[in-house]
Amino acid sequence: MLRLGYDQGPQIAWWWVDGYADFGSEQAPRVKDAIRQWFAWHRTSQLPDYAAWLAGVRGKVGESVTPAQVCRWSDEARTKLDPAVDRMLALAVPLVAGLTEAQLRHIEQRQAKANDEFRRDFLQPDLDDRAAAALKRTVERAETFYGRVDDAQRRLLAAGLKESPQDVERWFAERQRRQRDIVQTLRRLVAERPDTDRTLAALRALAERFERPPDAAYRQYQRRLTEHNCALTARLHASTSPAQRQTLRERLEGWEKDLRLLAAAANE
């Protein structure tokens, strides 16, 4: 499924970005070409590195892991995505100036629709329903790696979520800030039409505000939440059986092989 999804990635990415920006017939070929360029570059230059990283993690999951180790893996994974994001921004530069005010309003409308979906999935009015949905998502995520979790592990996850500093309303407010930031940045770039270097600098600054929000209090909240999640992940791993750890190794190995096959396919 990973290989199939990645092979269909350019088309899926086009559907997604067009769903937001509603590109016109003159814009569409340039956007599609930029997407194809990104996937061609990503397949050959990034996937082998991702595969090597997975191999390194796979070699250690049979052991006990500490919260610090989990956080280190999380940081490494995010860092490995940085070149892909930067390449995407560079390819987007010549496309930004062609956006229209109608398209920017379309983006705002699509953001509003996505926020309605967020409220439905994460901000249920009944707090018990909200907690149940959060536990369901967390169990499903754990089972993606370990296979079926048992009742004791489900209780462990439920307790961890109950102790979590996560504030969904705060998360939603930050999500909305980012959405406004996207549209405001694009609107300014369309109006001012700066040169290539300044446009790329503005897009990189936007990406930096995603990674490091301007609100210092929110960054502190993010750190607390990350530390809690790393500790919960380490506790879950400590509770796993030899069979579950073998499932984890096999799944990591499968994803690693898929990535290597995808990278090799570029040379065929």
Q: What domain range includes position 83?
A: 2-265
Distance CA 66, CA 47 (A): 27
What DSSP line would sit under 216-254, residue for residue?
HHHHHHHHHHHHHHHHHHHHHHHH--HHHHHHHHHHHHH
Give the pLDDT confidence score for residue 190 in this predicted structure: 96
Write the pLDDT tens digit of every residue in 43-94. Answer: 999 999 999 999 999 999 988 899 999 999 999 999 999 999 999 999 999 9
Which residue ranges of the chain lie beneath pLDDT 70?
Answer: 267-268
* Integer CA distances (angstroms), 246 to 4, 63, 67, 251, in order: 25, 11, 20, 9
Provide the 3-class DSSP secondary structure of residue 63.
coil
Distance CA 171, CA 222 (A): 9
Q: Count the neighbouring beta carbons within 10 Å of the beta carbon of residue 143.
A: 14
CB 210 within 8 A of CB 178: yes
Q: Count the neighbouring beta carbons within 10 Å of the beta carbon of residue 193.
A: 10
Distance CA 231, CA 212 (A): 22
Look up tokens 């990406």; give the residue: 207
The domain total for the chain is 1
Give the pLDDT confidence score for residue 2 in this predicted structure: 79
What global pTM score does this model have? 0.92
What tokens were used for 69?
A: 């180790």
From the CA atom positions of the chain, what is the Rg in Å? 21
Q: What is the DSSP letter of 25?
A: T
Give the pLDDT confidence score for residue 266 in this predicted structure: 72
Give the pLDDT confidence score for residue 267 in this predicted structure: 66
